[in-house]
Structure 1
C-alpha cells in the first residue's frame, strides 16, 4: 500500500475515504500511545524493546528512545509535570521519564505483572491494573510513590476513569468482568460482567458511554456510564485489543489485532461505517486532538501508522440499498450438480455468498 494513496473504505461507501500518510518505525512490539499536544510529540511504549520512543508529530521523525522496565505496555503523559509513566509488566514497576529528554527519573514498585494504567489528573493519581495480583495499585503522580491497592479480579489490566462521577473501571481479562471503584475513596463499588477477554476499556465523556474491547469474542460492548447498563454488543474483526474515541462523540476506533485493521464505528448507533488497513497486529490507537489524525501502533510491524482523518469530506454515512438490514426471504432452488432442492434454511445463522447469474 502506498502511504500517500487514498484508500476506499471496505464497504465501498462514497465519501468514506481515508489517506494513510506514513508508517513510522518505532521499535519492537509497540503498544500504547500518549500525546503531548503542546510540544507536538507522540510517545509509544515498545514492549519488546523495553523502551519508549518519542516522535515529532509534525516532522514524523524520532526525537529520542529511552529504556524503561521490561515489557512496557501502557503509557500515560502528565502534562503539568511533563512526565511519562509506563507500566512495565515483567518488572512489576511503573517507570517515570522526563518527557522532554527521556531521562529516567525513578521506578515505582507495584503489583505483579502491571498491564494497564488509568489517570485522574484532578486527583493527581495513576491507577495500575496488576494482572497477576488481581489488584489495582494507586500511585501519587506528584510524590511518585504508591499509596494504596484496591482489590480487583484475575487479569486486572486496562483502566478507564469517569471524571464526571469520579469512578474507575478496571478490565479483568480472565474474569471477563469490570471492577468498578471509587477513584477518591479508593474502594471497590461493584462488578459488571462483560464478554470474554476484555483488553481495553475507554470512558467517553462526549457520549457518556463506556467502551470495552472483548478480544476473545470479536466484540465491543457499550455501557452507560450513568447507570452501568449494557447498551449493546458490536461485532468487529478478529481479536480487538485496543480502542479509542474521537473526542467529539462521533467515532470509535477499534484495533483488530488479528486482522490488521481498524474498525471505525459510528458512536450514535454503534454501526461499523468502514475499516482501515494498517500494519500487522495493531495493538492500540490514539487521536491527535490538534490535527484529528489517527495514530495506530502495530505490534507485529514495529511501526506507528498515521492516518489522515478517516472521515474525509463527504456524506457522513454511505448510501445503502433499502434491502440492507432486512431479513433474507426464504427460497428454494435446485442444486446444479445433484438436482437436489436446496433451501436458505440449510445455512441459517451462517455466513455465505449468493451469486445470482444468468446463463444464455
Structure 2
C-alpha cells in the first residue's frame, strides 16, 4: 500500500506481527508498529490518515496512525480475516473472514462494526467499484466471487471462477474485475457491466497479488510460486513480459508519481523496487551451475514405506527422476 502524498509505502510483516512504513524515495524504514497476529492486507484511509490491517490469527482489524504508527484501535471481526476492501465514499471498510465465510462491515470514522454480509467459504480479498455501489469478494475455498451491494449489505450474486481465487482488483477504466486464481495459475477477466467471465489469462505459478495502473492499461501480477511479476496488457488480455523479483512475491503497489512498482517478497523478507516496470528488461545472461554434467553424488534416504534406507547406488546406470517436494 503506497501513500504518494507522504512518499511512503506500508508493508504488512505477517511473520513479525508488525507493519513497517518506508520512505518511497530513499527506500529506508520510517517507523515500525506492532499489530495483531499475522497481518495480511493493508488499507489506507486518506480522510482520517489511518491504516487498517486484517490480523488473520487474532480475528481483529488493527487501526494505526499513518503518520506515526501509533495504534488507534483494534476491532474484533470474524474468523481469520484475510482480506480488506475499502469504500472511502461510503466511509466503509469490508473485511473478508476466511474461516467464517462472511464479510464484516466497519465504519472507518467511528471504528464500529455496522453489519455482516454473507459470502462463501474462504472469503478474503475484496474490491469495491467506486461509484457503482457494488463489491466483490473472492472466496478461496468455494472457487467463486460473491457480488454484494455496498449500501444495503445484501448479496447480489455469485461468479464462478477457477480454483483458489485469492485476490480481486477492480479496474473501472477498463470496466474489468481481475481475479487471481492461485491454484490454477490464471487471471480471470470479468466484465463489471455483466459480471460475466470474459476470458482467462495464464501466468506463472500461484498468482496471489495484483495491482493495476491508474490508466487501466496494465495489470501487474505477483506469481508467488515463481518469484516473478507478470505484466498483462488489459486491452488484449495478453502477457507482455515478466519481471524477476525476490522469493515468493505476495503483493505489489504502484507509485503514481514515479511509476515505480514496489513488490513485497514474503519468502525473502525484502522489497523489490522496479523502475519503469512497463518496459521489458533485456535478456538475462545465461549461466550454468558448475555441477551440471558432473556425476550425481552418492546419498541415501529412508523409504517412506517401512523406513528402509535407499541409496543412489541401487539405480546406477539407470534413468530416473528425483522429486524434492517442499511447500511454499
TM bin, normalised by shorter chain, reads 0.7 to 0.9
Instruction: State the Cα distance separating 1:60 from its structure 2 match.
Output: 1.2
Matches within 5 A, 1:77-96: 77-96=44-63
Instruction: State the Cα distance separating 1:192 from its structure 2 match.
Output: 0.6
- The CA deviation string for residues 219-277 of structure 1, in whole angstroms up to 9 with x for no partner, is 00000001111111000000101111112121011100000000000111111110000
Which of the residues 68, 72, 94 maps onto 2:35?
A: 68
Partner of 1:214: 181
Q: Which consecutive unaligned segments of at least 5 residues does structure 2 have?
A: 282-328
Q: Does 1:120 align with 2:87?
A: yes
Corresponding residue pairs, total: 281
Partner of 1:47: 14
Partner of 1:28: none
- Between 1 and 2, higher relative CO (CA 8 Å, sep ≥ 6) is seen in 1
Partner of 2:4: 37
Instruction: State the Cα distance separating 1:164 from its structure 2 match.
Output: 2.9
Matches within 5 A, 1:1-360: 34-312=1-279
Instruction: State the Cα distance separating 1:312 from its structure 2 match.
Output: 4.0
- The CA deviation string for residues 175-216 of structure 1, in whole angstroms up to 9 with x for no partner, is 000010000111111111010000100001110100000001
Contact 2:96 2:123 in 1 (8 A): yes
Aligned structure 1 segments of 4 or more residues deviating by more than 6 angstroms? none
Contact 2:231 2:278 in 1 (8 A): no
Partner of 1:31: none
The whole-number CA distance in structure 2 between the counterparts of 1:84 and 1:242 is 19
Contact 2:218 2:232 in 1 (8 A): yes
The whole-number CA distance in structure 2 between the counterparts of 1:164 and 1:197 is 28
Instruction: State the Cα distance separating 1:37 from its structure 2 match.
Output: 1.3
The whole-number CA distance in structure 1 between the counterparts of 2:279 and 2:158 is 39
The whole-number CA distance in structure 1 between the counterparts of 2:26 and 2:248 is 25
The whole-number CA distance in structure 2 between the counterparts of 1:120 and 1:274 is 32
When residues 146 and 62 of structure 1 are mapped into structure 2, their CA distance, relative to the original with a 3 A threshold, is same
The whole-number CA distance in structure 1 between the counterparts of 2:47 and 2:244 is 36
Q: Which consecutive unaligned segments of at least 5 residues does structure 1 have?
A: 1-33, 315-360
